[in-house]
């Protein structure tokens, strides 16, 4: 394979000072169960906030009022969110999570738990690119790639480009690193003739706002592609930020899919461009105020901070 490495000195750490991008996992009704599983499995993990469906959210989603809507949680110190959204979307392996393990004992323990009741894509074994590696879908449908030895960032989202997006991994990487500040391409490895789809990306590492991501083109044709079941939340502080990321990520994208801050970009990848104010107002203990915010949000595509704040402030 052809390898192009573009990197800073290896002594520089690539940890997450501020997590700009948060993976968002869509479940039918297993969010709480799945989060409990992950937070007991991984170290430095905890459940942070559990929100429940109010009257307006329940009506819009078809879920029962008072049941769990979202769970924000940390695993290995990194932020994630899970939602009970019903049988609308199904997570598939186009987005998986690389877990960088430090010891054989650690990778064996995680593999035993994640493979129990799941589906193995690549057996845990020694490969030319790793002392020990395995790819598995757990019992909740989330895919994990365990690898030894590890790197600084413990868990890294991995994007796999398939179907009509096949062989667009490199183009997408260059697009994402141009949109977000503090981003760079660390490594690109392409297939040579006879190894796989010639010119396609077999493995790439890049950062978005200092967070590490992995990307690849699929080796063989697959029947599925990116969908909103696993999206990436862009955490914004200001309306200016919301406008910037919305405009950039919707450029050439699937505009008909936009609602409540959700969008699909031109590669089919789903994002949520969300101001911090939205979460704060929706979590207000006053159900009347939070309900008005929910009603306002449900009418929006791109989130407007002034509008949701006005809905909250109504007397």
Summarize pLDDT for 170-219 with one digit per residue, the tens. Answer: 999 999 999 999 999 999 999 887 777 888 999 999 999 999 999 999 98
Residue 150 has pLDDT above 80, yes or no: no
Omega of the bond prior to 77 within 30 degrees of 0, cis?
Answer: no
Phi, psi of 110 (to 5 degrees): -65, -40
Which of 24-54 are b and which e, b meaning 16 or more Cβ less than 10 Å from the residue's Cβ?
bbbbeebbbebbebbbeebeebeeeeebebb
CA 22/CA 80 separation, integer angstroms: 6
Q: What is the pLDDT of residue 17?
A: 55
Q: Is the pLDDT of residue 291 over 90?
A: no
The first and second tokens of residue 196, run together, are 């796989």
Report field, pTM of the whole predicted structure over 0.95: no
Measured torsion, CA atoms of residues 80, 106, 133, 233, in degrees rounded to the nearest 10: 10
Q: From CA 111, how far away is CA 136, in angstroms rounded?
A: 8
Cβ-based neighbours of 27, under 8 Å, separated by 6 or more: 34, 82, 83, 84, 85, 91, 140, 141
Q: If DSSP codes are grouped into helix, strand and coil, which group holds residue 66?
A: coil
Q: DSSP state, 259? A: B
Q: Please state, in angstroms and rounded to a whole number, the distance separating the CA atoms of residues 268 and 289.
A: 35
H/E element, 241 = helix 239-250
Q: Which CATH architecture has domain 21-89+229-313?
A: Roll (3.10)
Q: Which residue has the tokens 């104010």?
A: 277
Return the HEC string of 181-221.
CCCEEEEEEECCCCCCCCCCEEEEEEEECCEEEEEEECCCC
Q: Say yes or no to pLDDT of 117 above 70.
A: yes
Residue 68 pLDDT class (50, 70, 90 cuts): very high
pLDDT, average across residues 96-120: 97
Residue 277 has pLDDT above 60, yes or no: yes
Q: Which of 64-78, 216-230, 280-294, 300-314 ranks highest by mean pLDDT?
A: 64-78
Which CATH number is correct for 2-6+90-217, 3.30.450.20, 3.30.56.10, 3.40.50.1820, 3.30.720.110? 3.30.720.110
| E-strand stretches of the chain | 2-5, 21-27, 46-52, 68-75, 78-84, 95-100, 119-127, 130-137, 143-148, 155-161, 184-190, 201-208, 211-217, 230-236, 262-264, 270-275
- Residue 256 clears pLDDT 70, i.e. is over it: no
Closest CA to 226 of 195, 268, 273: 268
Model confidence at 13, pLDDT cuts 50, 70, 90, reads very low
Domains 2-6+90-217 and 21-89+229-313 share a fold: no
Helices and strands in the chain, H and E counts: 8, 16
Report residue 149's pLDDT band, with 50, 70 and 90 as the boundaries. confident
- Domain ranges in the chain are 2-6+90-217, 21-89+229-313
If we measure between CA atoms, which residue out of 119, 201, 115 comes closest to residue 158? Answer: 201
């Amino acid at each position: 394979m052809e390898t192009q490495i573009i990197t800073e000195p290896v002594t520089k750490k690539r940890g997450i000072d501020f997590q700009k991008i948060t993976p968002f996992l869509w479940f039918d009704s297993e969010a709480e169960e799945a989060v409990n599983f992950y937070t007991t499995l991984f170290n430095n993990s905890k459940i942070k906030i559990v929100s429940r469906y109010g009257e307006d959210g329940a009506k819009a989603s078809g879920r029962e009022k008072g049941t769990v809507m979202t769970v924000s949680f940390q695993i290995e110190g990194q932020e994630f969110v899970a939602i009970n959204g019903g049988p609308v979307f199904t997570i598939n392996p186009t987005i998986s999570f690389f877990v960088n393990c430090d010891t054989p004992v650690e990778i064996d323990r995680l593999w035993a738990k994640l493979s129990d009741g799941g589906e193995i894509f690549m057996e845990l074994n020694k490969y030319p690119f790793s002392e020990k590696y395995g790819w598995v879908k757990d019992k909740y449908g989330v895919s994990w790639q365990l690898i030894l030895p590890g790197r600084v960032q413990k868990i890294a989202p991995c994007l796999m480009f398939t179907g009509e997006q096949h062989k667009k991994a490199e183009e997408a990487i260059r697009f994402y690193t141009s949109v977000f500040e503090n981003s760079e391409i660390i490594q690109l490895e392409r297939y040579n003739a006879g190894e796989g789809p010639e010119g396609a990306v077999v493995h790439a590492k890049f950062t978005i706002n200092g967070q590490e991501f992995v990307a690849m083109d699929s080796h063989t044709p697959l029947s599925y592609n990116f969908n909103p079941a696993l999206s990436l939340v862009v955490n914004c502080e200001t309306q200016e930020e919301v406008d910037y990321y919305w405009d950039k990520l919707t450029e050439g994208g699937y505009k008909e899919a936009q609602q409540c801050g959700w969008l699909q970009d031109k590669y089919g990848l789903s994002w949520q461009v969300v101001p911090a104010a939205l979460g704060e107002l929706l979590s207000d203990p006053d159900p009347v105020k939070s309900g008005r915010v929910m009603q306002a949000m449900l009418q929006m595509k791109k989130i407007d901070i002034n509008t949701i704040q006005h809905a909250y402030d109504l007397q």
